[in-house]
Structure 1
């Protein structure tokens, strides 16, 4: 008996029949009685045992065996797509410029950049002193460092003020637990100073021997402490210990290199502490103590601090200022008032200018303000739907703003904008190898009407020649949580969909922040169901307008967007021909009840705390795992990672097991677990394309597209 059949034989089976996929017996997970009782509500959870790999329980081995059996089942079910998957991988890989180089960023006398080589999965991190014509220094060869590792991520590159030492973080497991290393850039040697279990965020003081970092709880993976490390020392000093488990913390240096900041932030409030970067042994001083339901960020200028805040019910934020010495809120003075129609998102500071990132009507704008004469003007982007964002602006004394721009048809582009002359220059545009022409594709901005009358923006793109006759396949994507905006951007992999007749659409649903802060407030906590009904209403709108039909409409989302997929599968299963749910957060109640799980306590202000009776029953009313019913469900592909630190593997595994045991249809249900990766999938720049190829093959098979 071969290995695949051995894996499958570990479980009971029930047969499925599908015209599109290889008929094969499905794994049926064992049921074990486990009761959850809270608020006088008793709930049976037959698949709770799947927690045991994470919890190191007695069924740990059985969990891994089940996940492997599901993987084997997927392999057999999709065996007829093997050639298509290989062809799609090669097709998408062929669009990527393999030998490439990032735009150099100037900082403290050096130009820093990364470059990739043909056939290599990773990159080299490099610099040149003073001029781009200078001799190249390869600071880190990530290609070489990653050899022999299924997963390898290096980040947090921080160079000391004297340019002699490089601190960086490495994660070899994909659980976002980084080890910090120090490299002497003069000798090329890695120092003995090694710091484990961090966020991978080293921040140098200006003495060139001290750095600060965020230390994580090894069990919950919460960032709990900020520590100070002095080169050569054995024991690091705790300089900040966060007691509120609902807060995220971090440490960083100001752009002008004068201050080191510690930030503690929850969904609803924030607090900053600071020291002089020249005095790393000083006690961190509180900028302004945390205030209930008040968020603030700070930007230091030469003679004052700028504060972006929602204080005094400034929902879309306003801009304040204070002196360098009197920083408490009583001394804040208004610079830009709150505006109902404009969300103030971010500030990029320079010596003589600030640039304000705003969002109006769902689109990003940038306002340039001259600090010398107080004049201001806006950049003009000129498209109906797009994404614009600040690029790498490391040099405080510069008069050049670097920003990024992309749309559904325009590849990622980097511009340098002269703040004095207002001239812009395209510095680099993502090169799509092949014959890609933006003019062959069309993007649109539409508005669906939600059940409560709210207008929900939709961005979509298709290839010229598309006919609105309801026959085209359409993939509708969204996220809709944490105030994260799903802006319209380019994807070279997406061309493999568009070139085969698919329409791709983004639903800018509530829970994001596309239409301002209220958009987010109306899609979280006790209003979370707006996120799900908005998505369903967008799908129905696209059907009504003949962009597609129920037989050709597909949905896709990941993580919290995977929660969205699970919710709409329960609420409107008849609307979707297929759903792809990536690393889906689908066991909401159980996860939010377990404070040992990473992210749980940080997110009570996003979902609610189920120890509160009202929050519990509201969460239970939409949690995908809790609401599976004996009815027909769409064809579904679900993916997860065994080492996922954001959404643990057992959520999608339990969900799929319960769906298999409950649903009444013969539609395809597949679970793919990456046994070596976590939340973000593979770390190499080509390996992730295998997951995309799998997803696209799933869609194409359902559509009868054979190549």
Structure 2
């Protein structure tokens, strides 16, 4: 207020365009968020948390706050021109793909798959008796219970193709209810099993039942929901309450199972071995093995297969050999081979040595091993014939992201091969590794989208804060001029060793066809340059992740692609650390930021239901060094009063089992109370969504809201509010 008084004395005439200031929706006010300081001391460092009260998601006050925030945000977003046109464009592009096939699985001569038509908001389950035979609808989740909205998270056919376990979710929660469908009658067996993450199961070899690992609760807010979980066996027709526990920390105390590890069971492809995987966010395999006959015994004879110290990322059994994807002493990856009955990673033979291309994936069929290699961005695939020991290249004719998906790995060499890239929607092929021939698949649907032919791709390496060269992928219309006037949408992730490989996105195309530059960053924390790249953005080195992101933004501005008033930054989930710390460290660099279902309060992550299982990736407050690194990662704790922050939209999913809603909620509250830029800070609250959803109606609206807000704030002409009032003030 004092500043306004001084300015009014000096200026005789001030014209204020009210539409440029934060807009208040008619009848709505931004909810006030009181500060209620709670102090904690971590290894001598006192940290104040003003918004701890928002962590009580069962509190009526907290529920009311989220509701008021969401209502205000929705009312404001509804006023942004171009938002609804963006939804319409998502729908229009969706219609250009006549049908979408996914998760194609062969059992016997039957092909099962998910099929989605443009007119449908979610996929249905179909079957063909032969690849080119007429299809039959087996299950439509949208009519399963017309009083609710259910989606099919997963489906797993039995080996004889006579039964299918289907995972059903409601509201994007990802915690599924398992039902068993009889294919002949298209009717469900009476039993159901709840709270299974993702809904994936493993059938017994005789198809009498299946292996599964449920959560402890259906409540995504339950702090013990995913700790000390138990792998179980369900026999068809049995009461799920009596399903025996096959592997758990409680049952096998001497195996060293941690509370945060998920015990997951599956059989080797030839059904001669049963594996017990202790899954966590650690990419290194922690596994035991036993005979399949042991499942009927009260106590199973487990023996060590692979230890985390072996640094194995994946393994596959072909005949008498076990093939290992290893990074031990080879950060770019290598393939080892050992005896399957008596495996010993330390004495395994090198089958495919480390090279300039990183090994990113390994998958097997009946006789072949397929290995995906990457130059940091684009991929190639090699195949190994286990019968004669011969290597060969898979002759996919394009560059980009590639993959091999076996139709029925244990019983066939038949595979689906795919490729796509930043500016190529991609092709699906049926591939015969015996003859190394590719044929465009029956399940490939030609795609012809507007503007794709005008897109150019630049693959760059830019210097980061410490001189390290960081990959940066740019996609834009060939008519773009490097005059600093372009809106740029810059996104990044940088966690769990997940690389940002090329992909084609129709949502991105809607931006590209509006003249927006798409910048995909490749910060440390991914695996674009191998294991060392991952570890350079991990726990105590995590700062490299957001500093690489900042350096990418600086490069784009300095080289005329965009400007600070036109740059949008985006981060999702673990990418919330990246975007949160980027805007708190360099608020001047961005016009707007999207913090989507984001880890924004890293210091308190372990106090959320999914936090303890992620301590392996980010660190724990129980360790003095890692605790201080968590503080540095914590975006909310780095929000400072009186700073001019960019416009921010923070997104929370009320059914999110991965990042609880109070994480992005607390970040939004801190920014709303601290920022002096006059730019809006919104909290978008999705009650019909979790971390993400297949439901196109919900998904299109969600992303259109995020994009429209950011494009409005970055000055894109299609999203500007019409001036509602121009006031002239005379000073006296």
TM-score with structure 2 setting the length:
0.87
Identify which of 32, 49, 57 aligns with 2:36: 32
Taking structure 1 as reference, are residues 338 and 141 closer, same or farther at Cα in structure 2, changes over 3 Å only? same
Instruction: Say yes or no: does 1:536 pair with 2:550.
Output: yes
| Structure 1 residues 603-682: aligned runs within 5 Å | 603-630=614-641, 631-680=643-692, 682=693
Q: Structure 1, residues 560-595: CA drift from partner, whole Å, max 9, x if none?
A: 112211100111110111111101101000123x2x
Q: State the distance in 2 between where 1:252 and 1:146 align.
A: 31
Aligned partner of 1:52 in structure 2 is 56
Maintained 8 Å contact 2:540/2:629:
yes
Maintained 8 Å contact 2:313/2:324:
yes
Maintained 8 Å contact 1:84/1:697:
yes
Maintained 8 Å contact 2:649/2:681:
yes
Q: State the distance in 2 between where 1:181 and 1:112 align.
A: 16
Maintained 8 Å contact 2:382/2:391:
yes
Instruction: Say yes or no: does 1:690 pair with 2:701.
Output: yes
Aligned partner of 1:80 in structure 2 is 79
Cα drift, residue 383 of structure 1: 5.9
Taking structure 1 as reference, are residues 432 and 685 closer, same or farther at Cα in structure 2, changes over 3 Å only? farther
Q: Structure 1, residues 616-675: CA drift from partner, whole Å, max 9, x if none?
A: 122213310111112110111111111211111111111111111122220111110012
Cα drift, residue 84 of structure 1: 2.3
Q: State the distance in 2 between where 1:348 and 1:684 align.
A: 30
Aligned partner of 1:89 in structure 2 is 87
Q: State the distance in 2 between where 1:40 and 1:643 align.
A: 36
Taking structure 1 as reference, are residues 294 and 116 closer, same or farther at Cα in structure 2, changes over 3 Å only? closer
Maintained 8 Å contact 2:231/2:264:
yes
Aligned partner of 2:325 in structure 1 is 308
Q: Structure 1, residues 294-315: CA drift from partner, whole Å, max 9, x if none?
A: 335321112322122234x333
Maintained 8 Å contact 2:313/2:326:
yes
Maintained 8 Å contact 2:546/2:577:
no
Aligned partner of 1:457 in structure 2 is 471
Instruction: Say yes or no: does 1:359 pair with 2:397.
Output: no
Q: Which runs of 5+ in 1 are unaligned?
A: 1-15
RMSD of the alignment, in Å?
2.5
* Residues 282-291 or 118-127, more deviating: 282-291
Query: Secondary structure of the residue that 2:351 maps to in structure 1?
Result: strand
Q: State the distance in 2 between where 1:335 and 1:28 align.
A: 62
Maintained 8 Å contact 2:640/2:674:
yes
Maintained 8 Å contact 2:21/2:678:
no
Query: Secondary structure of the residue that 2:213 maps to in structure 1?
Result: strand
Maintained 8 Å contact 2:153/2:174:
no
Taking structure 1 as reference, are residues 530 and 304 closer, same or farther at Cα in structure 2, changes over 3 Å only? same
Identify which of 554, 566, 570 aligns with 1:552: 566
Q: State the distance in 2 between where 1:310 and 1:704 align.
A: 46
Q: State the distance in 2 between where 1:583 and 1:532 align.
A: 17
Aligned partner of 2:182 in structure 1 is 184
Q: Structure 1, residues 337-358: CA drift from partner, whole Å, max 9, x if none?
A: 344x332222222333222112
Cα drift, residue 614 of structure 1: 1.8
Aligned partner of 1:122 in structure 2 is 122
Taking structure 1 as reference, are residues 139 and 276 closer, same or farther at Cα in structure 2, changes over 3 Å only? farther
Instruction: Say yes or no: does 1:225 pair with 2:240.
Output: no
Aligned partner of 1:7 in structure 2 is none
Taking structure 1 as reference, are residues 147 and 624 closer, same or farther at Cα in structure 2, changes over 3 Å only? same
Identify which of 571, 575, 579 aligns with 2:585: 571
| Structure 1 residues 457-606: aligned runs within 5 Å | 457-592=471-606, 594=607, 597-606=608-617
- The alignment covers a number of residue pairs equal to 676
Query: Secondary structure of the residue that 1:194 maps to in structure 2?
Result: strand
Taking structure 1 as reference, are residues 496 and 189 closer, same or farther at Cα in structure 2, changes over 3 Å only? closer
Q: State the distance in 2 between where 1:101 and 1:18 align.
A: 42
Higher relative contact order (CA 8 A, sep 6+): 2
Cα drift, residue 189 of structure 1: 2.7
Aligned partner of 1:414 in structure 2 is 428
Maintained 8 Å contact 1:157/1:168:
yes
Cα drift, residue 331 of structure 1: 5.4
Instruction: Say yes or no: does 1:240 pair with 2:252.
Output: no
Aligned partner of 2:148 in structure 1 is 149
| Structure 1 residues 201-280: aligned runs within 5 Å | 201-218=200-217, 219=222, 220-222=224-226, 224-234=229-239, 235-242=242-249, 243-266=257-280, 267=282, 269-276=284-291, 280=295
Aligned partner of 1:106 in structure 2 is 106
Q: Structure 1, residues 522-563: CA drift from partner, whole Å, max 9, x if none?
A: 000110000011001111111111111111111111111122
Maintained 8 Å contact 1:459/1:507:
yes
Q: Which runs of 5+ in 2 are unaligned?
A: 1-16, 250-256, 720-732
Q: State the distance in 2 between where 1:465 and 1:660 align.
A: 38
